Structure 1
Amino acid sequence: MRTRTPAHRLSAPSRRALAVAATTALCALGLPFSAPAVADDGSQCTYPGKMYEGRPWALQRVLLDELWSQSTGKGVRVAVIDTGVDVKNPQLAKAVDVKSGINLIPKDAKDANGYKLKRGNEQGTTDTVGHGTKVAGIIAARPAKGTGFVGLAPDAVIIPIQQNDAEGNGTAETLATAIRHAIAKKADVINISQDTADAVRPTKLLEDAVNEALKREIVVVASAGNDGLGGNVKSTYPASYEGVLAVAASDRNNERAQFSQSGDFVGVAAPGVDMVSTVPGGGHCADNGTSFSAPYVAGLAALVKAEHRDWTQEQIVAQIQQTAERSVAGHDRLVGWGVVDPVRALTEDDKPIEKPVAHEGVTRAEAPTPAALPLGETPEQRAARLATYVVVGGGVLVAAIVGTAVALRDHRRGTARRPAP
């Protein structure tokens, strides 16, 4: 992705974010993709990497035991359209369906020096960049001794589709081919951690492939893009296509990461800062970008799909959006419907919904109707007053009669007892 601002004029954090943005883009209309993946410290990860012993923060925010008591994504097939998935990493060896994989890099592809490129395994299980291996790990890495890192859906199955490489040999056309391959291999979820450079709308072939996947009830998840520095707001593709769940990046505070692309097309946000994941050959490293937010959501989609096999892709997307954590009642262009909440998505699922609705925050209610304030006596009040008079008057009259009778009786008794003179 091109930028008009010289990198040497930016601060170190800005340069890192720009590097992530630059290395996760693909060009439209058959132009080459640019190579994804830049590590958190601004340099490439080393492969193999060191084991990450603790539990990464993006997983600490989830009650994994409670989550996995509901679903582990068992049997759900997730296509990772990326730079390949290296099965030499022990946490991915049993997660990848090698037979369903494919390498779409042209056989005559050349490197930057003009030499013939080593394409790697024909099943898409070679990853010289490391990007696709990280993406796959966030989705479905198996548990392993010596590390707290694990995929969000540890029983899901990865379909490796190598469609891009370090030289940017992927195209919009090969991305469309990759989607159709995922359909043929019966994917339930497709993860696309790439976006178009300069927000150029790609060839219609790509849109047609996306629509075909949606018609087959496949959940399509795509990264929103990393060109959000300076408040940039623009559409990116394939994330902006209708029906695609576009994912922005959030930080440890559940706020939009500074590099994350904003726009009305953003569906949800997910952790995308300091994202620990698997790397080629074994071990782990950390990276930043919406490229790693998207697989977090793809993993969640796999969990929901495993729990609700009869739900449509629209219902799965709506469930993820409806149960996201948000600070406003509805949708905004920064984080969409909010930052995904995996446990809530799996527990507040009594019935499917078609579209998310605002249900938090202050809502507009009807103003209360003021009580009538009559200036005079109403007919009802007059009737009540007269009735009171009748009752009270009757009581006084009865009391007077009774009192007179008693007095007369006492007088007569007194006269009868008086002796005659």
Structure 2
Amino acid sequence: MPQTATRTTPALHRRATLATAAAMTATLLAAPAATADPGSDQCTFSKTNHQYASTPWALQRVNLDELWSESKGKDVRVAVIDTGVDTANPQLTHAVEASLGANFLPVKDKKGQPVQDRGNHSGTTDTVGHGTRVAGIIAARPMKGTGFVGLAPEATIIPIKQNDAEGHGTAGTLVTAIRHAIKEKADVINISQDTTGAAPDEGLREAVDEALGAGIVVVASAGNNGLNGKNQNTYPASYPGVLAVAASDRNNERAPFSQPGDFVGVAAPGVDMISTVPKGGHCSDNGTSFSAPYVAGVAALIKAKHKDWTPREIVAQIEQTAERSIPGRDRLVGWGVVDPVRALTEDDHPIESPRPDAGLTHAEAPTPAKLTLGETPQERTARIATYVAVGVAVLVAALSGAAVALRDARRRRRSLWGRA
């Protein structure tokens, strides 16, 4: 009997209210979702699950041939700290390195005692489907019969299981997961969850700093509590050095649920996001959870092409080449909506911070043509000379025509006299 995962539950959107920051719940960031089956709020996980045949809109906006001529993410490791990654989906079977994975999901037994393991130890089971979707957006392999593929189809996924639908993940287990990613030499870490509602956890910040210090790009979702339009920090997205990703829609505008804030670095597609699900096939979902891996995939492509670039330089490159609606950064979409092709082609040299587009803020008005109210002496001389030349030409033509006419008339008279 196929396993069914409800797509939207209160637990997925629950925010921590515990007194101590160390016990903050790490909340998965799946917004109310659209699904592969219109009118349904569930996605069935089975080998016969719906397979998306065409190319999703989020990939149609990218010239994949041009992108992949620059990089496919080869030899880059991306740690997905989430609900696990199911390798039974054929597009992920060869994308995931199970030997590098881990399961840090804390669960209590019937007596209320914590137990470390739920499922396997390698992080390659996913009863929620969240982590499997995230991994697919980053590195799903091409497969006949579907237009869906990961942005970095030669990158390797490190599956780190740290949360579930009930929100058993905490700031503490998130710290453990980050340190595992460091140990396994990840190049990029994707965190599609947050700890909104409590003070920042110092241990979590230290773990993020350790990852950045180890040369790892850290990408995190901005959050889905943006319906009221008010700024609100989320963690780890708000920590310095982390690339915080908001969700954009098909019009390159902020998705209504996407959390705004001065910490937002860029935005990426986060509405109707097709991706892989456990067992096989695809489903659609919404949320900054699926915007972050889109950007993590781009980071993997840049890292594969520029192996010596620092996390700061890779983040700045993504921000500098984003599609902007204003010259600089704003609280809704940061520096703009990520442009994968520009990020991989406008890369002559690394930069450490993005620059406002001065061309949009200081554009000069065009210089009007010089207005002349009368003729200059030179212009008058040229005009008169033209008139004279034209007059002479007309006179010559007239005289020539008269001479020809007189000659013809004389010939006609001689002819008449000869006949008489």
Q: Shorter-normalised TM-score: what interval?
A: 0.7 to 0.9
Give the CA deviation at 1:218.
0.5
- Give the whole-Å Cα distance in 1 for the aligned partners of 2:108 and 2:162: 12
Change (3 A) 1:265 1:20: farther
Q: How far is the alpha carbon of 1:31 from its aligned partner?
A: 3.8
Q: In structure 1, what residue type is equivalent to 2:81?
A: I
Considering only CA atoms, is the larger Rg found in Structure 1 or Structure 2?
A: 1
Give the direction of change, closer, same or farther, for the CA distance of 1:207–1:25 in structure 2 (3 Å limit).
Answer: farther
1:32 aligns with 2:32: no
Q: RMSD in angstroms over aligned alpha carbons?
A: 2.6
1:150 matches 2:166: no
The one of 272, 285, 303 equivalent to 2:301 is: 303
Give the AA of the match of 2:180: H
Residue of structure 2 equivalent to 1:23 = 12
Query: What TM-score do the two structures reach when normalised by structure 2?
Result: 0.79
What are the superposed Cα offsets for residues 119-142 of structure 1, whole Å, 9 maximum, x if unpaired? Answer: 111100010000000000000000
**C-alpha distance after superposition, 1:162-199 (max 9, x if no partner):** 0001221110000001000000000000000001132x
Distance 1:114 1:54, change over 3 A: farther
Please show how residues 8-407 of structure 1 align to structure 2 within 5 Å. Answer: 23=12, 27=16, 28-34=21-27, 37=30, 39-41=33-35, 43-48=41-46, 49-106=49-106, 108-110=107-109, 119-198=118-197, 200-359=198-357, 361-364=359-362
Deviation at 1:30, TM superposition (A): 1.2
Find the aligned partners of 2:10 and 2:364 in 1 and give their Cα distance: 46
* Bigger mean CA offset, 338-347 vs 115-124: 115-124
Corresponding residue for residue 393 of structure 2: none
Partner SS, residue 208 of structure 2: helix
* 8 Å Cα contact 1:85-1:160 kept in structure 2: yes
Closer, same or farther: CA 291–24 of 1 in aligned 2, 3 Å: farther
Query: By how many angstroms is 1:361 displaced?
Result: 4.9
| CA distance in structure 1 between the partners assigned to 2:339 and 2:10 by the alignment | 26
Instruction: In structure 1, list runs of 5 or more residues that go unmatched.
Output: 1-15, 368-421
For residues 151-170 of structure 1, the C-alpha deviation after alignment (integer angstroms, 9 at most, x for no partner) is: 00000000000000122111
Aligned partners of 2:360 and 2:171: how far apart in 1? 43
Shift of 1:202: 3.1
For residue 393 of structure 1, what is the aligned residue in structure 2?
Answer: none
Deviations along 1:262-317, whole A, 9 cap, x unmatched? 00000000000000000000000000000000000000000000000010110000
Measure, in 1, the Cα distance between the counterparts of 2:288 and 2:97. 25
Q: 1:252 to 1:73 in 2, by over 3 A?
A: same
CA offset digits 1:233-282 (Å, max 9, x no partner): 11111000000000000000000000000000000000000000000000
Runs of 4+ in 1 over 3 A off after TM superposition: 19-22, 24-28, 31-39, 113-118, 364-367
Q: Would the aligned equivalents of 1:24 and 1:195 in 2 still touch at CA under 8 Å? A: no
Q: Classify the secondary structure of the residue corresponding to 2:176.
A: helix
**What is the percentage of aligned positions where both structures have the same residue?**
68
One-letter amino acid of the counterpart of residue 129, structure 1: V
